[in-house]
Structure 1
C-alpha cells in the first residue's frame, strides 16, 4: 500500500537509505536535508514522488510548522513521520563548549519534539499513522565520553515513550528505533566534532577516543541497508513493540545495561519504602 513518509536528514546515512528504498518501492517521500545538493540525484530520479526541503534543525525552528504543512499539502497526508536527523558529540563533559552542547540537544532532541508536535496536528485527526524516532542503543546504555549525546537520546526515548501512551487513544503508533553501530558517516562526523582532551584525562578511556573513532579497523558491524529495510517492515507490523533493537551490539549493550539497572533497583526493595508515610 502506498504511503507518504516524512523523513528528516535524507542527505546521507540511514535517512538516505530509507528514502532510496521507499522511493524504489513506490512510496512518496518528503525529506529534509541541510543541502539539496546531497540529494540532487534522487530528486532527478523521482521528480513526482520526492520533495526535499533544505532545513537546518539547529537554526530553522521557526520554519518547522511551514515545512510540515508543505509536506501535508504536497502529498495530501503524512502516514509515517520519521525523526532521523542527528549526530554524535563526544568528549569529556567538562571540555564540551556550551554552544556545542546546546546544538546537540537542539538537533537530537528539541527538533524532533517540535517537528512531531506540528506533525500531530495533521496526523491525529486522521486517526492513523506512525511516528518514528531514531534513537540508538545509546538511549539505554552509556559510555564515557558521550554524556551529551546520551542525554539527547535518553531524553528522546523518554519523550516518545510518554507520547506513545497519549497517542494510542487516537489510533496512532510510536516506534523508537535503537540501532547499533552502522557503516555510515556517523563515526567520522563524530571524530570531527570531538572536543579537545583536557589535561588530567590522559590515563582515562577518553584519551584514546579520537583514535578509536578514526581507526579504520574498528569497522561498525551494522548494515545501513538492512537497518532501513527493518524499519520499513516494522512500520507495516501493527503488533510490533514500542522499541525496535537492531544489531547484535545494540542487543548486547542494552540487555547488559537493563540487567544492571534492574539488579540495582531490586537491591533496594527493602529500603525504598522507608521514606513512605507510616
Structure 2
C-alpha cells in the first residue's frame, strides 16, 4: 500500500496520539493538531520529515480554517480525521450554561467546522476520506452524559447527511464508534456538581460506578487503533464501525429494541398520511 497523508485533530493523547504514532511508524505523513505542543515534541524529533504539528483549538473557527488550508497547501491529504473531543459529566439540570456551550462548541461545532474547512480541498483533489471518531455514545446513552450524547448523536447525523452530499466528488465518510476504552477520557471529564436530590437514582449509581472503578473499560487503546487502521484503509469502508465488545453489544441491543418499538407503530404511522 502506498504511503498516506493524514490530518488528525486531538492528537495529543488517547486514540488521536496512538493513531498518529501508528501512522508515522508505517511511513505515513501526519499533520497533527494539538492544543499544546509538548506531547508531540519527541515524535517530531523522531519523525522530522513525516510529522507536522499544528497548534489548534477546534473551537476557534478562523484558526481551524487557517490550519487546514496550511496543511493542504503542502499537497493532497488522504485521511481527514476529526477526533478532538472530551466528555461533560453530570445530570442535565446541574450543568452550567458555560459547560453546555463548551461541550457543543468542541465536540459538535468544532468537528463540523473542521470538516467544512477541509471539504473544498477534498473536492478539488477529487478524493479523500473523512473519518469522524464518535463513540458508542452516538448510538446509545448513559445517565450523566446527556450533553456528550447530544454532541455525538449530532455529529453522526451531520456526517450521515454529508456523506450523501460529497460521494460524487470522490469523498467518502466513516464513523468510528469505540466503546469504553482505557484512555485519558475519564481524567479529562468536565464535572458538574452532584445534586443531593438524585441520591440513589440511576444517575448517582452511574457516578459511583464510574469513579470507584466498577465501570468496565474493556477497550484497549492500541488494539482499538489497530482496528481503526484496518477499517480506514478499506476500499470502500463500512459507514459505521463499533469497536470493542461493549460498544458492539450495546449498539446491537439498542438497535433491536428500536426496531421492535418501531414495528409496533406501523398502523399509527401510516394513519398520518393523506387519505
* Secondary structure of residue in 1 paired with 2:156: helix
The equivalent of 1:77 in structure 2 is 76
* TM superposition shift of 1:64: 1.2
The equivalent of 1:14 in structure 2 is 15
Equivalences for 1:117-196 in 2 at 5 Å?
117-190=116-189, 193-196=190-193
Question: How many angstroms apart in 2 are the aligned matches of 1:243 and 1:232?
Answer: 14
Question: How many angstroms apart in 1 are the aligned matches of 2:263 and 2:44?
Answer: 54
The equivalent of 2:86 in structure 1 is 87
Bigger Cα displacement from structure 2, 40-49 vs 12-21:
40-49
* Secondary structure of residue in 2 paired with 1:200: helix
The equivalent of 1:35 in structure 2 is 36
* TM superposition shift of 1:78: 1.3
* Secondary structure of residue in 2 paired with 1:213: helix
Question: How many angstroms apart in 1 are the aligned matches of 2:212 and 2:7?
Answer: 34
The CA deviation string for residues 16-41 of structure 1, in whole angstroms up to 9 with x for no partner, is 00000000000000011110012111
* TM superposition shift of 1:168: 1.3
Question: How many angstroms apart in 2 are the aligned matches of 1:152 and 1:112?
Answer: 10
The equivalent of 1:259 in structure 2 is 256
Question: How many angstroms apart in 2 are the aligned matches of 1:128 and 1:239?
Answer: 12
Does residue 56 of structure 1 match 2:57? yes
Question: How many angstroms apart in 2 are the aligned matches of 1:92 and 1:46?
Answer: 44
* TM superposition shift of 1:203: 1.8
Question: How many angstroms apart in 2 are the aligned matches of 1:209 and 1:217?
Answer: 10
Q: Say if 1:201 and 1:207, in contact at 8 Å, map to a contact too.
A: yes
- C-alpha change, 1:155 and 1:133, in structure 2 (3 Å) is same
Question: How many angstroms apart in 1 are the aligned matches of 2:262 and 2:206?
Answer: 31
Q: Say if 1:197 and 1:206, in contact at 8 Å, map to a contact too.
A: no
* Secondary structure of residue in 2 paired with 1:35: coil
Contiguous gaps of at least 5 residues in structure 1: none
Name the TM-score, length of structure 2 as normaliser: 0.96
Q: How many pairs align?
A: 274
Question: How many angstroms apart in 2 are the aligned matches of 1:216 and 1:28?
Answer: 38
Name the TM-score, length of structure 1 as normaliser: 0.95
After superposition, the CA RMSD in angstroms is 1.3
Q: Say if 1:183 and 1:219, in contact at 8 Å, map to a contact too.
A: no
* TM superposition shift of 1:216: 3.6
Q: List structure 1 segments (4+ residues) > 3 angstroms apart after TM superposition.
A: 208-211, 216-219
Contiguous gaps of at least 5 residues in structure 2: none
* Secondary structure of residue in 2 paired with 1:230: helix
* Secondary structure of residue in 2 paired with 1:270: helix
Q: Say if 2:57 and 2:63, in contact at 8 Å, map to a contact too.
A: no
Does residue 269 of structure 1 match 2:247? no
